Amino acid sequence: MSKAHVTCPVERAIEIIGGKWKIPIIYHLSQKPCRFGVLRNKLTKVTTQMLSKQLKEMEKDGLVNRKVLNVMPPSVEYSLTDFGSSALPVLRTLYQWSINQNKIIIKLSNRKSQKIELSVSN
């Protein structure tokens, strides 16, 4: 479904910041601007290709700035835009909810992991 056809405001927001890697990227860039390689090292399980794809989408959606640094070898630094930073209060609220509901969330997460393991082994 395209972003234009979503009518629920929360669903529209999730279309922009949802997914496995965008929230962790926002988190790390909220600490300070990062070069691509530093960001990749912080997100140890992301592939280079996926990180590049996510950053391109986030740049296109106005969440991050991409700055080409005039150094040798050439390097790129990413930072949050004002729009990207505007998501931080929402993410802090989500973080607090997760902390407050930690036991339930861990139990559900473990249950989902077990289902994935069972389906992979079958």
Same domain, 25 and 66: yes
Determine the pLDDT at residue 73.
Answer: 86
- pLDDT-based confidence at residue 5 (cuts at 50, 70, 90): confident
Q: In the chain, how many domains are there?
A: 2
CB 78 within 8 A of CB 21: no
**What is the rounded average pLDDT of the residues 29-52?**
95
**What is the rounded average pLDDT of the residues 11-33?**
94
Three-point CA angle 87, 91, 94, nearest 5°: 145
Same domain, 29 and 55: yes
Same domain, 5 and 29: yes
Determine the pLDDT at residue 120.
Answer: 52
Range of the domain at 91: 87-122
Task: Say yes or no to pLDDT of 79 above 80.
Answer: yes
Q: What are phi and psi of 79, to 5 degrees?
A: -145, 160
